[in-house]
């Protein structure tokens, strides 16, 4: 929609998988490309946008540096990522007795083991500075998950977020399988063969949350939950002078 408004802009989108739709405005082009490989772009972009790449990138400083190099002077980088792959609640309804809490802990651990953490607690201002950016700005916005807010706009937003997070089990599958913790998804033998005893915590208990969370996601129960969760999102902007 934005691109139809800015017809003079040319946009290049990249992804590892050819999953993009064909019905895009003529000023958009998609390439299959690995953002972790060496970038071949010249310093040619006015804006580079990165979103939802936590869990995909091993070396964030390198990615940010490559983005810096590909920007024209005056251009800016926008990174939208959740600081931590987890939920929060003000009223304590999201707590360690909920299956969802244990689920997030499990997936976080598995993504760390895979070397591609879903939680980006890294120091982005420092990474920006070291990449060469002189100015940057960080904003945190908390978005509700589910239809629990009384406010009409927040309720609708919560509906969108819960719909996106209905894909949670699918998104969590690769790190869980890598870590061998997906007995409901892969065979018991695989799970036992790779059981991460070295995690130093009761992974069997943690693992028991999987069927509950999967069933609830499938049935859309996180849409109308009694748990008042919200998800902090971090918007980072950095300018190249």
- Binding footprint of ligand SAM on the chain (CB under 6 A): 14-17, 19, 34-36, 51-53, 56
- The minimum distance between CB 52 and ligand SAM, in angstroms, equals 3
The two beta strands, 229-239 and 135-145, are: antiparallel
Q: Which is nearer to ligand SAM, 39 or 239 (CB)?
A: 39
- The minimum distance between CB 210 and ligand SAM, in angstroms, equals 20
Q: Which is nearer to ligand SAM, 68 or 148 (CB)?
A: 68
Q: What's the burial of 146, exposed, middle or buried (CB within 10 Å: 0-12/13-18/19+)?
A: buried
- The minimum distance between CB 136 and ligand SAM, in angstroms, equals 20
Q: Which is nearer to ligand SAM, 12 or 192 (CB)?
A: 12
Q: Which is nearer to ligand SAM, 35 or 99 (CB)?
A: 35
Q: Which is nearer to ligand SAM, 77 or 191 (CB)?
A: 77
- The minimum distance between CB 11 and ligand SAM, in angstroms, equals 13
Output the residue with the shortest Cβ distance to ligand SAM: 52
- The minimum distance between CB 98 and ligand SAM, in angstroms, equals 24
Q: Two tokens at 189? A: 């033998």
- The minimum distance between CB 14 and ligand SAM, in angstroms, equals 6
Q: Which is nearer to ligand SAM, 89 or 143 (CB)?
A: 143
Q: Which is nearer to ligand SAM, 36 or 112 (CB)?
A: 36
- The minimum distance between CB 176 and ligand SAM, in angstroms, equals 16
Instruction: Determine the distance from the C-alpha atom of residue 145 to the mean position of all C-alpha atoms in its chain, rounded to a whole number.
Output: 15
Can you tell me the distance from the alpha carbon of 112 to that of 61, in angstroms, rounded to the nearest whole number?
17
């Amino acid at each position: 929609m934005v691109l139809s408004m800015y017809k003079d802009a040319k946009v290049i989108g990249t992804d590892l998988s050819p999953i993009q739709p064909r019905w895009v405005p003529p000023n958009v082009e998609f390439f299959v490309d690995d953002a972790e490989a060496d970038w071949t772009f010249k310093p040619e972009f006015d804006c580079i946008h990165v979103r939802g790449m936590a869990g995909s990138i091993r070396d964030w400083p390198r990615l940010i540096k490559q983005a810096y190099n590909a920007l024209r002077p005056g251009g800016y980088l926008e990174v939208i990522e959740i600081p931590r792959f987890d939920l929060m609640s003000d009223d304590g309804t999201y707590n360690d007795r909920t299956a969802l809490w244990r689920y997030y802990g499990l997936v976080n651990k598995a993504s760390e083991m895979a070397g591609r953490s879903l939680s980006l607690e890294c120091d982005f201002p420092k990474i920006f500075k070291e990449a060469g950016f002189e100015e940057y700005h960080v904003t945190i916005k908390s978005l509700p998950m589910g239809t629990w807010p009384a406010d009409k706009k927040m309720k609708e937003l919560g509906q969108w977020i819960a719909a996106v997070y209905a894909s949670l089990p699918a998104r969590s599958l690769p790190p869980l399988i890598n870590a061998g913790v997906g007995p409901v998804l892969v065979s018991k033998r695989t799970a036992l063969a790779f059981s991460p005893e070295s995690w130093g915590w009761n992974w069997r208990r943690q693992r028991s949350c999987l069927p509950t969370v999967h069933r609830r996601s499938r049935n859309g129960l996180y849409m109308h939950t009694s748990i008042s969760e919200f998800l902090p999102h971090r918007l980072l902007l950095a300018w190249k002078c």
